[in-house]
Structure 1
Amino acid sequence: GDVGSGKTVVAAAAMLAAVQAGYQAALMAPTEILAEQHFLTICNLLSETELEADGKYVVTLNVAGIEESVVVGLLLGSHRKRVKDDIYAMLGAGAIDIIIGTHALIQSPVDIPKLALVVVDEQHRFGVMQRASLSEKGARPHVLAMSATPIPRSLALTVYGDLDVSVIDEMPPGRESIRTRWVQSDRRDAAYGFVRKEVEAGRQAFIVCPLIEESEAIQSRAAVVEHERLSTQVFPELNLGLLHGRMSLQEKEEVMGRFKTREIDILVSTPVIEVGIDVPNATVMLIEGADRFGLAQLHQLRGRVGRGEHQSYCFLLSESMSDDARHRLEELVRTNDGFDIAEADLRLRGPGDFFGTRQSGLPTLRIARIDDRDLLAAARAEARSLADADPALAAHPELAEAVLRFATAVSDEVA
């Protein structure tokens, strides 16, 4: 489903179904900010009444329609060792029903004996082996991968039929389509003027920079320097905030809290806000160095606005760019549809390995193309029909030999 379409609600319902069946469920998110937001959101979705707090990161909830209480835990890499050890012990004993966390969930001390459902949110942010590692925590658990812009490999697997797809093709009522513009660097002042106009109308804005601090190796704007420049030279009359990945979780939450309560007019940030930020009053996303971002990341950043009733805007600023970067920005201006963007990403980057870990790169097809859907559908139907009629391929020795050659050539990473 596209950004803001309600994927978290689907995840909560699926995990609750696993718990009702007597099993455990896990949700892995790419950042601590998003994992913490999922923890709070899912707890509020399941129950308005908090029965018992077993420490700061484990909550026992009374859920309507379920006789026994549901225990929800949060596991982050920044936790103190004592907190982690407590959560490890509770998970191993089956005392936590739903565990939400970051990459900390795939560390070796984590044991989830009754794991039946794995939810990977923003799955395009994880590597193949990271997603597989969480699945290995249980005995062949079901896997639900969620993303607004699937990475090419995942999109190609759905084309080939290896993954089932469910699509949320509607947005919550009242949402306006985000207007996206590609702005040349010499028009930056005009973009700033538009931001000021929106803030004066009571709205808020994001300004995203590719880097935290300036680098001699990369000629691009940095968030720390831009925050200082914008605060003193461009928007001295407005309240500006700064958010980046080197800040502690507490500092990030403090800044985001002030932004949500409208104490901050403009939030200058790195791509740390790419996922998990929901501020309906924010209507402008200005992305510096847009040519340095991939299509999926740009679409996710754009999705931080357009969550309220007011018209929202996204400005893509770039100094100079390659032909590939130009194609990416043109695609983003052309459409707001995450599925169109994912397909464009597939064409531009390729699907990567189907039996390996490479998530992009052109496939080694000799004749067909990855986007030749009619041919793929026909080939898949023929393959299924043949497999049903002759599972061992006994009547097709040449085909059996070709399949064997292909299987033995599979990447050693997966073999």
Structure 2
Amino acid sequence: MADLPDWLRLQKALSVEAETGFNDLQGHQKRFSEFLRDSLRVSPANLPVIDQERWITLSQDFDKYSALSFAQRQHLIADTRRFLQQSRQLLEKPRPNVAKEPNATKFNQRPKTKSLTAQVNNLYQSGHPLDQPLTYLKGMGPKNSERLAKLGLYTVRDVLYYYPRDHLDYARQVKIRDLKPGDTVTIVGTVKRCNCFNSPRNAKLTIFELSLYDGTGTLKISRFFAGARFRNRGWQERQKRLYPAGATLAASGLVKKGKYGITLDDPDLEVLGDAQEPIDSTTVGRVVPVYPLTEGVPAPLVRKAVVAALPAAVEIRDPFTTALREEYGLIQLPVAIAHIHFPPDSDTLTLARRRLVFDEFFYLQLGLLSRRQQQQSQTQIHMAPTGKLIDQFYEVLPFKLTKAQSRVVQEILVDLQQSTPMNRLVQGDVGSGKTVVAVVAILAAIQAGYQAALMAPTEVLAEQHYRKLVEWFNLLHLPVELLTGSTKTAKRREIHSQLETGELPILVGTHALIEDPVKFTRLGLVTIDEQHRFGVAQRAKLQNKGESPHVLTLTATPIPRTLALTLHGDLDVSQIDELPPGRKPIQTTLLGGRDRNHAYDLIRREIAQGHQIYIVLPLVDESEKLDLRSAIEEHQRLSDVVFPEFQVGLLHGRMSSSDKDAAITTFRNRGTQILVSTTVVEVGVDIPNASVMLIEHAERFGLSQLHQLRGRVGRGADQSYCLLMSSSKSETALQRLRVLEQSQDGFFIAEMDLRFRGPGQVLGTRQSGLPDFALASLVNDQAVLELARTAAEKLIQQDSSLDQWPLIQKELNRRYQKLMGGAIFT
């Protein structure tokens, strides 16, 4: 075996480079990048093949370190630190034996005691297949099966795939004198005293008390039962007889410190024959699964069902061959399923979880790639990369495209020439110029004789796009129309008619575009802005208004790679990573309540210089439940008390479309100096003269949303400011907000937002189509996601139909439908 890397030295070098500002630090003999390049040139021999390849790739990346931007260096170092940690864990743990298929005898050696194995086998009536109902399991009669159905558990297979949401590690046995608050432990001792009685202070409460001694100290354990039936003396005497004085008892639970000293919080208890006897329990003295529950379904019932079903896991056929498992360092599927429920130790749990997380990511990625292949096999629409309209557009543009814009335009035009429909996502930070790029694609469609549609999530954003397109397309003598929920009936009919005759080449709008009366003659390009704000079905409905049109989606909400792969794994991704020249970084400052007057002084100075101000609040109306300023209330206060010398406008989502448009138009025309608003200004409002963005209760917003709001200023050549007002005392909340002070990089901010809040809150699970994973975490399992994506790509390249992999194809259809709510092959 090759010498293992000096992990400590590598991690220390990465840490020092990050702390000193990513400046490629000069060491005694080499620069930082040279040291990393040379250290990663040869990978450890015992790593899976795919990880060895990644090791070499990182070495090549550090060879180009000096040419990378600041943000690219940040991302490379973060990725390398995660990857090295994962590699070290793989190498320092015993390598799972994946060469042999499991058999029933070895598989059932899962528990640490033979008696528990026998107990498990006795509970299960052998010989029933995985898809039999739960009533076929011993101890799971009709009543219990009906209760488990509330969790969606109907068959033996359902129970096996009902993974725990967490585990409590009670496998560590300690002495009473060594108990520390916060630990989960097991102690074994002798019962000194046990009592059960009615509370003298609360007539509805029954108290159970037990005193345990293990030679090093005494522990008092208490339980509380509320209800009339527990006041029954017969029930109380039975509890005392369960734990008689002198009995040897094992207790497992969370160590807590209360006003009466150290204790175990609501522990699981098990009486033993003697202190040397092995603990034979599904909860005490082992790693215990914690399952998602619902009302009427207690944890012991779920555990009992799992124990009864576990022997049937040997009937699960692993779709992965031995070669596949060895390549990616995975244990066998039946073993992983057994050990995710009742692992003998935490290391085994880690290996089991890694295999099952890999499976969740793998089948999702395989489904997305299969869907992409299906889309690419559809009717082709060819569009020329050059033409009169595009040339004229470049001539009327008052500025030159940035290098990043030109690169992305070229990628789009190449797609439009292909024999398969384009499906491309363009990510770009606020103000990077995505609309101009989209217009080139729209003109390519129009000059090829097709129509184009541009859909935005809000009327404000749709109107913003419409105004820009009118400004440019008037010079090109092309008609443009806007269709929203506020469009008058007569105008709506006129638009419908012009679409059907083909007179109207481009239609901009909101969800109104997907309504049934909207019919295109020859729809060739669909452009969707901020696409994560639309549901999957809504996006598909617009695409279905043409015959396999090209699809271009835009987002000003930078999405971390893990989310992009999960949501957009079937798309090609382009990135506009350069702002137009002349833009200055926005000076961002976190302020407390005492700094409010300083903020107001800055606002007065900026207005005196002819600039304008946004003040954003999280609420429209005053809330009785939340002590937050509201837009309406604050507008009144600012107008009357703070800035009576200035014109203060108001904008919020409950205003009619015409009132919203009037408020924005007045602000754009400098009729108001200050615009008090809710997050309706988050996207689409483009006022280059605005130089200050003051955000009240900033802790109530996500980082990506704050970055979007900040992007409403800094759109001109003058210095702009973003003031984050927060009265929060939470250090976590303030730490989040300081990320905005330190970085202008939308992708870095999105990554940090993902870590702080999780993907559901960052995107909004329902609208984004984010899959609901049973185990996988997009925050903590990034390396496994990358590995699963690579595996899926290799498999699709080898056999796009998956005919060579019938078990994988079958599992793909089952899992993908469950994750994404629909079949892949439709």
- Correspondence list, 1:339-354, <5 A: 339-351=747-759
What residue in structure 2 maps to residue 43 of structure 1? 470
How far the C-alpha of 1:375 sits from its partner, in A, is: 5.2
What residue in structure 2 maps to residue 329 of structure 1? 737
What residue in structure 1 maps to residue 459 of structure 2? 32
How far the C-alpha of 1:243 sits from its partner, in A, is: 2.1
How far the C-alpha of 1:317 sits from its partner, in A, is: 1.3
Extract unaligned runs of 5+ from structure 1: 49-60, 63-69
C-alpha distance in 2, partners of 1:269/1:300? Answer: 14
What residue in structure 2 maps to residue 364 of structure 1? 773
| Equivalent position SS for 1:10 | helix
Instruction: Confirm whether residue 232 of structure 1 aligns to residue 659 of structure 2.
Output: no
Does the aligned pair in 1 maintain the 2:559–2:751 contact within 8 Å?
no
Does the aligned pair in 2 maintain the 1:128–1:357 contact within 8 Å?
no
C-alpha distance in 2, partners of 1:24/1:74? Answer: 14
| Equivalent position SS for 2:796 | helix
| Equivalent position SS for 1:87 | helix
- 1:148-188 Cα offsets, whole Å, 9 max, x none, are 21467994337874221111111111110111122122322
Does the aligned pair in 2 maintain the 1:151–1:359 contact within 8 Å?
no
Pick aligned residue for 2:437 from 10, 21, 26: 10
Deviates more, 1:194-203 or 1:317-326: 317-326
C-alpha distance in 2, partners of 1:375/1:386? Answer: 16
- Correspondence list, 1:195-344, <5 A: 195-320=603-728, 325-326=733-734, 328-344=736-752
What TM-score, normalized to structure 1? 0.84
How far the C-alpha of 1:127 sits from its partner, in A, is: 3.1
What residue in structure 2 maps to residue 51 of structure 1? none
C-alpha distance in 2, partners of 1:243/1:411? Answer: 37
C-alpha distance in 2, partners of 1:128/1:159? Answer: 10
Which amino acid in structure 1 is aligned with residue 556 of structure 2? A
Pick aligned residue for 2:450 from 13, 19, 23: 23
How far the C-alpha of 1:394 sits from its partner, in A, is: 4.7
Going by fraction, where is helix more abundant, 1 or 2?
A: 2
What residue in structure 2 maps to residue 82 of structure 1? 490
How far the C-alpha of 1:14 sits from its partner, in A, is: 0.7
- From the CA coordinates, give the structure whose radius of gyration is larger: 2
- Correspondence list, 1:54-65, <5 A: 62=477
Pick aligned residue for 2:534 from 126, 130, 133: 126
How far the C-alpha of 1:108 sits from its partner, in A, is: 2.3
Distance 1:403 1:212, change over 3 A: closer
| Equivalent position SS for 1:170 | coil
- 1:44-67 Cα offsets, whole Å, 9 max, x none, are 22342xxxxxxxxxxxx52xxxxx
- 1:68-110 Cα offsets, whole Å, 9 max, x none, are xx33211111111121122122223322110001121122222
Distance 1:345 1:361, change over 3 A: farther
C-alpha distance in 1, partners of 2:498/2:770? Answer: 42
Instruction: Confirm whether residue 384 of structure 1 aligns to residue 793 of structure 2.
Output: yes
**CA RMSD across the alignment:** 3.0
C-alpha distance in 1, partners of 2:446/2:600? Answer: 50
Does the aligned pair in 1 maintain the 2:616–2:678 contact within 8 Å?
yes
C-alpha distance in 2, partners of 1:145/1:236? Answer: 44
What TM-score, normalized to structure 2? 0.44
Pick aligned residue for 2:520 from 112, 115, 130: 112
What residue in structure 1 maps to residue 167 of structure 2? none
C-alpha distance in 1, partners of 2:730/2:666? Answer: 38
C-alpha distance in 2, partners of 1:279/1:388? Answer: 48
Does the aligned pair in 2 maintain the 1:29–1:120 contact within 8 Å?
yes
| Equivalent position SS for 2:479 | strand
- Correspondence list, 1:393-404, <5 A: 393-404=802-813
| Equivalent position SS for 2:645 | coil
Extract unaligned runs of 5+ from structure 2: 1-427
Distance 1:111 1:349, change over 3 A: farther
Distance 1:369 1:252, change over 3 A: closer
Distance 1:161 1:47, change over 3 A: same
What residue in structure 2 maps to residue 146 of structure 1? 554
- 1:172-219 Cα offsets, whole Å, 9 max, x none, are 111101111221223222211221122223322111122222122333
Aligned residues: 394
Does the aligned pair in 1 maintain the 2:647–2:672 contact within 8 Å?
yes
Which amino acid in structure 2 is aligned with residue 309 of structure 1? A
Does the aligned pair in 1 maintain the 2:473–2:479 contact within 8 Å?
no
What residue in structure 1 maps to residue 821 of structure 2? 412
